[in-house]
Amino acid sequence: MILRVALAAGALAAAPLQAIPGDWVNKVQPVATPAQPGAIALPVTLERANPAREGWAQQTPGQRLVYNVSQPQLLPWPSSLPPKAVAPAVLLIPGGGFQFLAMDNEGFDVARRLNKQGVRVFIVKYRTLPVADGFAGFKEAISRTFQKGEPVTADDRPYAVADTQAAIRMVHAHAREWHVDPTKIGILGFSAGAITALATAQANAADARPDFVGLIYGPTAAVDLPVKPPPLFAAIAADDRFFKNQDLGLIHGWRMAGSSVEFHLYSGGGHGFASQPHGTTSDAWFDQFALWLKDTGIVRAH
């Protein structure tokens, strides 16, 4: 398997960020680090120094971001399933252009909804690009990217993928203890998290291969895929500001590889609709993902 997309994905993660209206940066404010009960440190398999302290900010009320993540973690979501019920696992991979993680919109808020779908939920808090220590350093970094249009030249994907693979291995290792079906451990990524999820599926590591993959407002262009990639759910809006100019070669390639594909191209919704209703058909993505989990047999229909 050839990772032909390696350099392209790095550029993709950088260039589209400049298309975001920069006025949102002015609204970002520091917030206290929230409680993260049960957080589990993930082993670091690809070392990188980052002396800055992890920090949290708020884009709008209820929309928190974390930056300068140097110690990856797995955050298990409290389950409403019977304690010993064996269930599939969904690992959420938030986005944020690799500069931060959108922990509410693409993490905690999605986890709350997924918890009711008969799965055990985990959030992958992967490492982000190092920025200067403190909130002022973070705001200056995102100002350069989003307001001044300076490209992010570093490709942070290898670290995000390494941390996601470590998370998959962690859930496999504790599957019996955590009452997870070891044959049904999948990943669901958003934006940069979708880039990460795709690259994780491409890597096809024997001990860290996801059993199913979800890509929400992620890339759609053709890439090299492993033989028989796992079942795919993909959703994107036609007016997505990052990926609207890409073709749908990824979807075609996945089908031609002989794997199951569910694809939704919504007429509107923009980018970032994970937990934010837009009054567009993209608001239906979660219900359709939940139905797909049952239709594919990942989750047992009751």
Tell me the pLDDT tens digit for each residue of 28-41.
999 999 999 999 99
**pLDDT value for 90:** 98
**pLDDT value for 18:** 35
What whole-number distance in Å separates Cα of residue 198 and Cα of residue 193? 9
Length of the chain (residues)? 302
**pLDDT value for 147:** 82
What whole-number distance in Å separates Cα of residue 186 and Cα of residue 249? 22
**pLDDT value for 302:** 63
pLDDT digits (tens, 9 = 90+) for 113-137: 999 999 999 999 999 999 999 999 9
pLDDT digits (tens, 9 = 90+) for 135-190: 999 999 999 887 888 888 888 999 999 999 999 999 999 999 999 999 999 999 99
Res 191 pLDDT > 60: yes
pLDDT digits (tens, 9 = 90+) for 231-287: 999 999 999 999 999 999 999 999 999 999 999 999 999 999 999 899 999 999 999
**pLDDT value for 198:** 98
Res 15 pLDDT > 60: no
CA dihedral (135, 72, 50, 154) positive or negative:
negative
Asked if residues 197 and 223 have their Cβ atoms less than 8 Å apart, the reply is no
| pLDDT (average), residues 193-218 | 98
pLDDT digits (tens, 9 = 90+) for 64-113: 999 999 999 999 999 999 999 999 999 999 999 999 999 999 999 999 99
Q: Enumerate domains of the chain plus CATH numbers.
A: 6-16+34-130+153-295 (3.40.50.1820)
**pLDDT value for 148:** 83
**pLDDT value for 6:** 36
Cα angle value 250/272/12 (rounded, 5°): 45
Res 5 pLDDT > 60: no
What whole-number distance in Å separates Cα of residue 21 and Cα of residue 49? 31
**pLDDT value for 301:** 74
Res 10 pLDDT > 50: no
What whole-number distance in Å separates Cα of residue 214 and Cα of residue 192? 13
Cα angle value 45/46/49 (rounded, 5°): 125
CA dihedral 112, 158, 70, 92 (to 10 degrees): 0
Q: Give 187-217 as a DSSP string.
A: EEEETHHHHHHHHHHHH--TTS--SSEEEES
Helix or strand run (H / E) with residue 101: strand 100-102
Cα angle value 120/97/173 (rounded, 5°): 30
- Give the mean pLDDT of the chain: 91
- Burial (CB count <10 Å: 0-12, 13-18, 19+), residue 288: middle
**pLDDT value for 22:** 60
Question: Residue 289: pLDDT band by 50, 70, 90 thresholds?
Answer: very high
**pLDDT value for 21:** 59
pTM for the whole structure? 0.93
**pLDDT value for 11:** 35
pLDDT digits (tens, 9 = 90+) for 211-233: 999 999 999 999 999 999 999 99
